[in-house]
Amino acid sequence: MAETAWSRATAALTLLAVDPTGLGGLVLRARAGPVRDRFTTLLPRLPLPLRRLHPAVGDDALFGGLDLSGTLASGHLVQSAGVLARPAALVLAMAERCTPSLAARLAGALDAGQHCLVALDEGGDADEGAPPTLAERCAFHADLTEVALGEAAQTRRPDIEAARARLSAVTVPGNMAAQVADITLRLGIDSLRAALFTLRAARAQAALKRHDAVTQADLELACQLVLAHRATQVPVEEEPPEPPEPPPQETETEQAESPLLPEELLLEAVRALLPPDLLDRLRVAQARNAKGAGTGAARKGNRRGRPLPSRVGRPRDGARIDLVATLRAAAPWQTIRARHAPAGQRLHIRAEDIHLRRFEERSDRLLIFTVDASGSAALARLAEAKGAVELLLAQAYARRDHVCLIAFRGTTAEVLLPPTRSLVQTKRRLAGLPGGGGTPLAAGLQAALLQAGQAQRHGLTPTIALLTDGRANIALDGSADRTLAASDAQRMAVALRAAGVDSIVIDTGNRPEPGLRELAARLGGPYLALPRADAERLSAAVSDMMEG
């Protein structure tokens, strides 16, 4: 049985080598270094040819297309074959930077059943990782971030070829599929792929061990490797039911179909691998979209800016050729190239001559005012926020910024002003703002997170300005519990930071609130204590933070 992170990773890779297209792939979380290098030396165990990809790979490299340089050199149409044209083991480097479009294309290739994927996840934080679209289609997940080089011992190569030949003959007991499905439900896994991968992994392990049918040890290892990283809840031990009356004597056929494995033993094997901070990790993962949000990920702009100097490159993904720059680069070489070109060809252009047009990608900013509208001072705070929003809107025409207003009071938060640059519409919406009631701070942050996520998907750059006195007393579930309300607010702050949203906390209480300073630290943004902030000071503080 796998006992260490290294042995679990190598066991997963061995099973993947036995059934590569059936098990989909492996997500390997590890920083670039000698440990990962030693693991990648084992990749030739896979029976498919290795094809290495990077997050910026284009459609022409994946699916093939026009070979522009070959076409220009030969004078007739030349097509190039893509990486996905033949079955292969795809090795994706820097998977945490994978864009949604590339993830969708690779997911389609995996669904076709001719490829497997090894995604090298180099994310250093919990909020970085391979896109869920790809992780869902890979049976295994291995984490080598805490493995020392001394623990990464070379393993004996198993007889994978013999196991692969034996795989089709391995049988699964008739009631095992239902048992695996029940275990996935108790672990909070809502994907049917998890159960199918578990059964396939168990069959691959049985083939390696020369078993004719899946045994208890085979299924236990498969559950650990496939289900542990997918679990969304810790299974609760059920109370044993009252002993039933003795059943009538079973026939030999009924005895053969009785449960082979104690389900609690399988759950205990998976429970042993669950991280203690499982719930916190899940909240962070939910906040991160599959948009390549890793370190160094490119940010999508919502409009095109001024032109930039053209650059040598390959025409792909909608890039446009700068014809003048291309001809200028090829002109000095025409005489030399003509000596070796076919007769009658008048223009000689090579791949290194092609220049692409470039433009500055600009992204409009969205300022999300999240205002505490509860308590006796609500009217004053809302009046300050109203003035600040109007002042910032006056500047938005020059900076092309958008403004959004969220008020939280009672037990919920409400979007009073969707993202807009319209000053007239803003004044209408701000005419009468409600006030009073409890302080659902977590609900306000949750509403701000939703607005920020929508803005990012539209190419905007959101910034959240939170105005509150920090006395949260309403939890996310609507209960009046100060301790739970503060805890919920801290968790939402972690989710906002994981989503990469800039934030500023403005303390409008009469005295600075230490809890808000801690909240600002969780958000990763500045904290401003402005007990008597008027519209001018609020606008100046937020503008300085955005410019900085």
Fold of 365-547: Rossmann fold (3.40.50)
Give the CB-side neighbour count of residue 274, counting CA atoms within 13 A: 21
Cα end-to-end span (Å), the chain: 54
Helices 441-457 and 482-498 cross at an angle (nearest 10°) of 20
Q: How many angstroms separate the CA atoms of 493 and 519, rounded?
A: 7
Specify the domain boundaries for CATH 3.40.50.300 within the chain.
5-49+87-235+259-285
Please tell me the predicted confidence (pLDDT) of residue 229.
Answer: 85
Please tell me the predicted confidence (pLDDT) of residue 249.
Answer: 55
Using CA atoms, how far residue 139 sits from 16, 72, 105, 142, in Å, is 8, 44, 18, 10
Please tell me the predicted confidence (pLDDT) of residue 179.
Answer: 87
Q: Could you read off the pLDDT tens digit of each residue along the chain, which spans 548 residues?
A: 336 889 899 999 999 999 999 999 999 998 888 999 999 999 999 999 999 998 888 887 888 877 766 776 666 777 888 889 899 999 999 888 888 889 999 999 999 989 999 999 887 555 567 888 999 999 999 989 888 888 888 777 788 999 999 999 999 888 888 888 888 888 888 888 999 999 999 999 999 999 999 988 899 898 889 988 888 776 665 555 555 665 555 444 444 444 455 566 666 666 565 555 544 454 444 444 434 444 444 445 555 556 777 888 877 656 788 888 888 888 888 888 888 777 777 778 888 888 888 776 566 788 888 888 776 455 555 666 666 666 666 665 566 678 888 888 888 888 888 888 776 666 676 666 666 778 899 999 999 999 998 888 887 888 898 888 777 888 888 888 888 998 899 999 999 988 888 888 888 777 778 888 889 888 988 887 766 555 566 666 666 655 55
Q: What is the CATH number of domain 5-49+87-235+259-285?
A: 3.40.50.300
For residue 319 the two structure tokens come to: 């890039």
Residue 218 CB contacts under 8 Å (≥ 6 apart), including other chains = 202, 203, 205, 206, 209, 211
Distance of CA 46 to the CA centre of its chain: 26
For residue 461 the two structure tokens come to: 């750059």
- Is residue 389 within 8 Å of residue 416, measured between CB atoms? no
Please tell me the predicted confidence (pLDDT) of residue 346.
Answer: 74
Residue 191 CB contacts under 8 Å (≥ 6 apart), including other chains = 136, 184, 230
Specify the domain boundaries for CATH 3.40.50.410 within the chain.
365-547
Q: How many angstroms separate the CA atoms of 503 and 367, rounded?
A: 10
Give the CB-side neighbour count of residue 311, counting CA atoms within 13 A: 7
Write the single-letter amino acid at 468. T
Write the single-letter amino acid at 428. R
Q: How many angstroms separate the CA atoms of 474 and 478, rounded?
A: 6
Please tell me the predicted confidence (pLDDT) of residue 53.
Answer: 92
Q: How many angstroms separate the CA atoms of 516 and 506, rounded?
A: 8
Using CA atoms, how far residue 137 sits from 24, 89, 338, 487, in Å, is 6, 14, 52, 34
